[in-house]
Amino acid sequence: MMNAKFFEDMAAKLSDVMANSPAKDFEKNARALMAQGFAKLDLVSREEYEVLEQRLAKLEARLATLEAK
């Protein structure tokens, strides 16, 4: 039966290989390109959107009451 030390060593070696592989570099570069592309877009976060949505709902309610007067 193999001991746990063997599996731990193999897992460590595999993670080292993956960390230094071209796939890891590709992932890092892809993430950087996507982040750069998203930065160029005029996007808002979910939190900002929800705050603006609440403000719009309040303004619509105020407008409805003013129009009723």
C-alpha to C-alpha distance for 15 and 9, rounded to whole angstroms: 10
Nearest to 24 by CA among 45, 32, 64: 32
Chain mean position to CA 58: 30
The string of pLDDT tens digits covering residues 3-51 is 777 778 878 887 777 777 777 777 788 888 888 887 788 888 899 999 9
Structure tokens at 49: 């959107």
Provide the residue type at 42 as one letter: D
C-alpha to C-alpha distance for 19 and 6, rounded to whole angstroms: 20
Q: Is the pLDDT of residue 61 over 50?
A: yes
Q: What is this structure's pTM?
A: 0.44
